Each structure stands twice: as C-alpha cells, then as structure tokens.
Amino acid sequence: MDAVDRKIVEILAEDARRSLTDIGAAVELSPSAVNERIRRLVANGVIRNFTVEVDHRALGLDVLAFVWVGLAPDADEATFRTFMAGHPAVAECHHVTGAWSYCVKVRMPSLGELEPFLAELKQRRFLARSETVIALSSVRESLATTAPRG
Amino acid sequence: MDAVDRKIVEILAEDARRSLTDIGAAVELSPSAVNERIRRLVANGVIRNFTVEVDHRALGLDVLAFVWVGLAPDADEATFRTFMAGHPAVAECHHVTGAWSYCVKVRMPSLGELEPFLAELKQRRFLARSETVIALSSVRESLATTAPRG
DNA sequence: GATTTTTCTGTCAACAGCGTCCATTCCCAA
DNA sequence: TTGGGAATGGACGCTGTTGACAGAAAAATC
C-alpha cells in the first residue's frame, strides 16, 4: 500500500474501465506491473469489488430514506443485523453512537413500501422507537470518495 | 429500459468486469447486443460510472460519521451545496425532511479531522445547529443495491 | 562487514480473448 | 409494403493474462 497503489485505486474509482496501459502511463509503470498491483489490491481486500454506479431513479427506486432505529432492549441484535444485511431495500446499515442504535439507509420504489418495511421491523420486535427521514434531493451521492485528503 | 437492461445492470453491479460474452450468455443475447445496450445505458445516464468499491479502512479512512446540519436562516444554500459537493471528506450530502436540513456522510482519517470540519462549517456561517453521529461498525455498506425487489 | 541467498517487484514478449465496429438481417409497427 | 430499431456475425486491433527473466532490497550466512 504505497503511493502508487493509492493512485491506482483513485484512478479506478474514477473510471474502472481505464486500460492497464493507460493507468501504467499515469503511474509510470508497465501494464503488467499495474495488473499485478491491482490483482494484489483485490486479493488484500483493498478493492472489494468492481461495480457500477447507478441512477436509482431510472431503475424505479424513487425514494431514499434514512431510518433511525432504537433497538428494543430484548431484541436479538444478531438477528437484526442478519435481517438488515439480507433485506433488498437496505443500502446501508450502520451501528452508531448517540441516542439511536442504528442508522439504516433504504431505497424503495415509492413511499408506499416504507410502511410495510417499518411494520416488519416492529412485528419482529426489533424496534423500541424509530424515526424516518426522507431525502428530497442529493447534493452528492457516493461518488468516489477515495482521496484521503483534498 | 426493459427486463434485459435491468438484468445487465444487476450483473454489472455485482461484477463490472464480467465479459460481454459472459453477460450475453446470461441474458441470451450476442456480445455485440449487450455492448450496445450497455453503451445506451451509459448514454442515458442509467449507468453513471464504472468504479471500484473500496475498503476505506485500508486506505486510512478509519472514521465514518453522519453530520446532521440545521442550516442557518441567513446561510446561502447554493454556496453550502457547492461547498459540500467539493469537500474531499464528504461522501454523501442529502437534503432531508424533518428537523434537520441536511444529512452529510463524511469519511476522515481520524476523529481529529472532525472538529476542523465542523469548525469550517461554523466559520462559514452555514450552521444554525448540528449533530454528529459516529458509525462504530457497518452491517452493510453500499454493496450493490440494484435489485428493485428481492 | 562482505557475500550469498531469498524474496519481491518490475520488464518484456507471446498469445488468447476481448471489446469495437460495420455490414447485414430480422422483426415489429406504421 | 415500408421504415426504423435492435440483434447477428465476422473482422480487426487492442487488451488482459501469463510465464520466463532481470534487478533491487532484505535476510541470512560466514
């Protein structure tokens, strides 16, 4: 994990389809060397996945919301986590400090799906309390935040 | 935007390095047809970017936090948005309903960078009030949430 | 402390496979 | 019947991949 690796990750985060030759030119290395470094970055788990950033609206996921979860005292936290990890609407789920237990980011086709989602959380007795915040618009959205500094 | 397109996006979200031949086999189309569809998905903005999911810890970004911003009544919202869009620590910034104006997701090397960040927001007179929530661990984190349903 | 050994990382060349492009064909709607 | 959009198939050039080799750095040996 040196400066060259970081630069390579930065380039890939911007455009993962850049060719090895191209990246090699940017970091002054041969294509094979770049390939080997990428292979190692993947093997070491620094690069988790090659993927695609999507316009969720275009895919029919019009609603983005944050659900603050105050876990019920008797709730099984492991079960809750498994449920969150597997639920198709859940984009993110973080265990957080402060008054709430978890911050859950969800995407759904419409507001109509929100109530059933919350209902299921309640029914499974996960919730002591919750608060849902709906995102109206996004100034910035998970676009490559690799740069360790400006 | 038909079922085939959605399937292609889903496949790419899982692994953007799958070959056209491979994807073609999955959706029963020739590689050229898949290529043309992907080209169009990119052109139409459905696919925003080819990128890479990263282990931020490995890159030295150990801290993930949510900053809830209550915008000052006299703050210039456009300036605030520009500032957020350009700040290297800001991973996401959403305009939200409820008691707060914005939900800002930030990543930093350590907790030490948090105070200067908040200080700058204050100094620029953006803030009426704010609340910072730190993520201790993540059950799930922006791993391909393409599926409109299970 | 110098020399050998090992390990790690890069270069180079060769090849198979890939994305890209274009002409052609097919199919559906007008 | 005709026109337009989408898929096919083949050709081309580039790309990723691999393996053999070279050089530097670190570890071990004398």
Average pLDDT along chain B: 92
Give percent of chain B with pLDDT exceeding 90: 89
Q: Which of A15, A59, A98 sits opposite B133 (nearest CB)?
A: A98
pLDDT tens track for B8-30: 999 999 999 999 999 999 999 99
Cα(B150)–Cα(B136) distance, rounded to whole angstroms? Answer: 28
Q: Which of B13, B45, B139 sits opposite A85 (nearest CB)?
A: B139
- pLDDT tier, A143 (very low <50, low <70, confident <90, very high otherwise): low
Cα(B125)–Cα(B119) distance, rounded to whole angstroms? Answer: 10
User: Residue A146 pLDDT more than 70?
Assistant: no
Cα(A97)–Cα(B79) distance, rounded to whole angstroms? Answer: 30
Cα(A130)–Cα(A28) distance, rounded to whole angstroms? Answer: 52
Give percent of chain B with pLDDT exceeding 70: 94
pLDDT tens track for B101-138: 999 999 999 999 999 999 999 999 999 999 999 999 89
pLDDT tens track for A57-94: 999 999 999 999 999 999 999 999 999 999 999 999 99
Cβ atoms of A10 and A46 closer than 8 Å:
no
Q: Which whole number is the average pLDDT over B32-59?
A: 94
In eight-state DSSP terms, residue B125 is T
Q: What is the pLDDT of residue B92?
A: 94
Cβ atoms of A74 and A128 closer than 8 Å:
no
User: Residue B145 pLDDT more than 80?
Assistant: no
Q: Which of residues 30-69 of B touch strand D (CB under 7 A)?
A: 30-33, 36-37
Q: Which residues contact B77 (CB under 8 A, 6 or more apart)?
A: B71
Q: What is the pLDDT of residue A150?
A: 34
Q: Which residues contact B127 (CB under 8 A, 6 or more apart)?
A: B69, B70, B71, B72, B75, B118, B121
pTM for this model (two decimals): 0.89
Q: Which of residues 32-91 of A touch strand D (CB under 7 A)?
A: 32, 35-36
Decide if B66 and A148 are in contact by the 8 Å CB cutoff: no
**Which nucleotide comes closest to B24 if you measure CA to C1'?**
D7
User: Residue B149 pLDDT more than 50?
Assistant: no
Cβ atoms of A101 and B138 closer than 8 Å:
no
